[in-house]
Amino acid sequence: MKHRNPIHDRNPEQGFTMSEHRSGIDVSRILTALTLAEKAALVSGRGAWDTAQVERVGIPSIVMTDGPHGVRLRDPQIKQFSFDASLPATCFPTASALGSSWDTELLTRVGEALGSESRAAGVSILLGPGINIKRSPLCGRNFEYLSEDPVLSGRLGAALVQGIQSRGVGASVKHFAANNQETERMRVSAEVDERTLREIYLAGFEYVVTSADPWTVMAAYNRINGVFASENHWLLTEILRTEWGFEGLVVSDWNAVSDSVRAIEAGLDLQMPTTHGASAAKLVDAVHAGRLAEQTLDRAVVRVLELVNRALESELGTTTPTVDFDAHHALARTAAAESAVLLKNEEEILPLDPTSDTRVAVIGEFARTPRFQGAGSSQVNATRVDDVWGALIAATENPLRLTFSPGFTLTGQPDDTLLAEAVAAAAAAEVAVVFLGLPSAEESEGFDREHIDLPPTQVRVLEAVAAVNRNVVVVLANGGVVRVAPWERHCHAILEVWLAGQAGGGAIADLLFGRANPCGRLAETIPVRLQDNPSYLNFPGAVGSVVHGERLYVGYRYYDAKDMAVGYPFGHGLSYTTFEYSDLDAEVVGQGAEVVLRLRLTLTNTGSLVGKEVVQVYVGDVESSVDRPVRELKAFTKIELEPGQSVPVEFELGARDLSFFSISDGRWLLESGDFEIAVGGSSRDLRLTATVVVDAPAPTRTLSLSSTVGEWLGDPVGGPSLRRALEDAEGLSMATNPEILRMVESLPLDRVVTMSGGRLDMAELGEALDPPQ
């Protein structure tokens, strides 16, 4: 199958093409040649999916398209807008599946395939990956996001970006930032304190930006603490550019910009899609009226030109790849198998033997009509789709032992005939494999979910099947998480396959028949009940604002802090083999910013099948000046082992992995003391622990009269000065009595000064108030 290439096929009235260029464009020369109107036109889209061109000085237009798990390039033959009207492309598993693979190497390979399909289609920027944190299981777009944890999202997001960009196509990391819900997404303000932003919502973006150099970052729709992300100077300039050193282009989410002038001033470079000249006119007026400096506009223009140059360089420097769609389909099948999570497997009911005569009742419409992707801008027109039923028949040596009954309709209406057929099939079989999942209408871009339950009709089918057959396996297809607590007692095994992409059917057959060994791990906690989720009372907010009252305690950070029962914990996933962890050795070298924590352990495959384990490293600060999560994921690796094989596994953590973001210091801070390192197969399956001592210089803080007595006393210079001043002040020496100090330690010093009625000698505090330079 071949894609039409929208750039190379452009007709003459659309202007000249990228391929007419023999070399890149000379950015500084062109900048001086552009008129103000041309500059203003360049910083917003020409159409829905392309940048403006300026033929007079030889600037071509480049094409962007969604993303993230397949190339959704509009079919030029179809004029009417429709999410279905795109050219065929490989539909890989969606992010909630890929996130569960915990496999950076796999995500790079998927990225390479996405990059190749984009290049072949003439697409210069693929709009993805989406790495927003799954704050609530209700977010309608969770299927497009990787994890509830920023380290996992960041590492996997970076791997995807590297893969896409290795093919000369830019990625667009989205949606920057704190876009964690669909409700009111274009105007809601995420009210989040800075520490939470830094440690949870920005950290994944920071990792991708600083390690993978994405060509573009997409500014989100929502506001953050009152200011639109696309008009947020703090976010787009101070953090993204100045702190993280981002050198690519910031593009708005589609129609995110409410004020083009403010957006450019804040650091946005490209407003998408076209506004039919309206935003360009506003920018020109603002420059004429002196409300926008032309140099500020130039900065954005330069970034657009540099982006065009990057696209031209790959166009000129490498040949356009020919896409092998069969190979990509095979990769999509591997990716789906690597991403499935075996939640439980009692009595080792799985894998099923493909050679035996055991009668298997396959039940559930999803086995015939797979739900393999989500709705909205990420929807791909798959090159082909494998269904599980077909794949199971193809994989078994004895097709006659398999029966299929739909059990329920996808519309969710109870259907007694289908139910009765399913029960009869289950009663006549030794094993029933029941395919359950979310109807597509329940999760999509544009709106949030209302609950996390499976449709009651499906649960009724499961209950009825379990009443006649005790060997039940459930296979789940859903993008956002579904709770399993109400019905899991009715089955021996649960295989969560998420939205597994176009080759999911084959992958599921591979997993059920043991041709693939499950190795996915949960990238998000499955709660016992929706009400347990930390954002429950604050999602999706009201009156235009959503308060992140749970602060850092998102996902497992919350469940672990409260020591709560969960359905299945973050990081969990079984295998058909077993692993043993041994010999953890932890060594700390250096101190402060230079500290390096080296971990070594041995991993052994103690079972009888080849399989992959995801070794996870969690870190907790035993004593800290601020509240910190009990443990946080800081490193992981996925390793394949033959039966009986043992391998050494090593990790290296740095100061940042042990630090928190200190609001009072305005920076990441490492504190001396004990840290507990826990290594295992999930956040609640910690097999080995070690405590290490870390040495870091005490932070130098500037004390002031509004610092508290406690802060003064904790300071190496201020503490002794304040003690001296209190001891010397007439009638105040009793204030150094520990019990009294405890009572007054939260008082700002100026209150103590007032209370002392002039008896406290301010000169004695001078050195600490105004430290010598």
Q: Catalytic residue numbers?
A: 253
Element (H, E) at 762: helix 762-769
- Which of 59, 61, 62, 66: binder of ligand BGC (CB under 6 A)? 66
Output the six-digit token pair for 50.
């392309």
* Nearer CB in complex with ligand BGC: 99/455: 99
* Shortest CB 290 distance to ligand BGC, Å: 34
Using CB under 6 A, which residues numbered 367 to 396 contact ligand BGC? 377
* Shortest CB 198 distance to ligand BGC, Å: 23
Q: How far is CA 80 from CA 9, 83, 109, 254, 445, in A?
A: 20, 10, 34, 18, 20
Work out whether 662 is an interface residue with ligand BGC (CB under 6 A). Answer: no
* Shortest CB 80 distance to ligand BGC, Å: 16
Using CB under 6 A, which residues numbered 4 to 23 contact ligand BGC? none
Query: Residue 320 has what DSSP assignment?
Result: P
Neighbours of 531 (CB within 10 A): 8
* Nearer CB in complex with ligand BGC: 268/601: 268
**540: CB partners within 8 A, 6+ apart:** 136, 138, 181, 182, 183, 184, 188, 448, 546
CA distance 382 to 505: 13
CA distance 573 to 327: 28
Q: Helix 416-427 to helix 456-468 angle, to the nearest 10 degrees?
A: 30
* Shortest CB 131 distance to ligand BGC, Å: 12
- Which of 174, 262, 492, 631: binder of ligand BGC (CB under 6 A)? 174
Q: How large is the greatest C-alpha to C-alpha distance in the chain, in angstroms?
A: 98
Contact 604, 580 (CB under 8 A): yes
Of all residues in the shown chain, the one whose CB is closest to ligand BGC is 377
* Nearer CB in complex with ligand BGC: 377/682: 377
Closest CA relative to residue 164, chosen from 150, 174, 152: 174
* Nearer CB in complex with ligand BGC: 375/511: 375
Q: Total residues contacting ligand BGC (rule CB under 6 A)?
A: 7
Q: How far is CA 659 from CA 124, 373, 421, 516, 626, in A?
A: 38, 38, 59, 39, 11
Q: Helix 294-317 to helix 278-288 angle, to the nearest 10 degrees?
A: 140
Work out whether 254 is an interface residue with ligand BGC (CB under 6 A). Answer: yes
* Shortest CB 66 distance to ligand BGC, Å: 5
Residue 228 φ/ψ, nearest 5 degrees: -55, 135
From first CA to last CA, the distance across the chain in angstroms is: 70
CA distance 530 to 363: 27
Work out whether 524 is an interface residue with ligand BGC (CB under 6 A). Answer: no
* Shortest CB 205 distance to ligand BGC, Å: 15
Using CB under 6 A, which residues numbered 216 to 245 contact ligand BGC? none
Q: Is 609 helix (H, G, I), strand (E, B) or coil?
A: coil
Question: Which residues is 59 bridged to in the sheet?
Answer: 54
* Shortest CB 543 distance to ligand BGC, Å: 23
- Which of 45, 60, 67, 555: binder of ligand BGC (CB under 6 A)? 67
* Shortest CB 164 distance to ligand BGC, Å: 14
Query: Sign (positive/negative) of CA torsion 503, 506, 511, 516?
Result: negative
* Nearer CB in complex with ligand BGC: 115/681: 115
* Nearer CB in complex with ligand BGC: 116/216: 216
* Nearer CB in complex with ligand BGC: 133/752: 133
Contact 462, 434 (CB under 8 A): yes
* Nearer CB in complex with ligand BGC: 72/557: 72
- Which of 89, 121, 127, 709: binder of ligand BGC (CB under 6 A)? 127
- Which of 199, 253, 365, 443: binder of ligand BGC (CB under 6 A)? 253
* Binding residues vs ligand BGC (CB under 6 A): 66-67, 127, 174, 253-254, 377
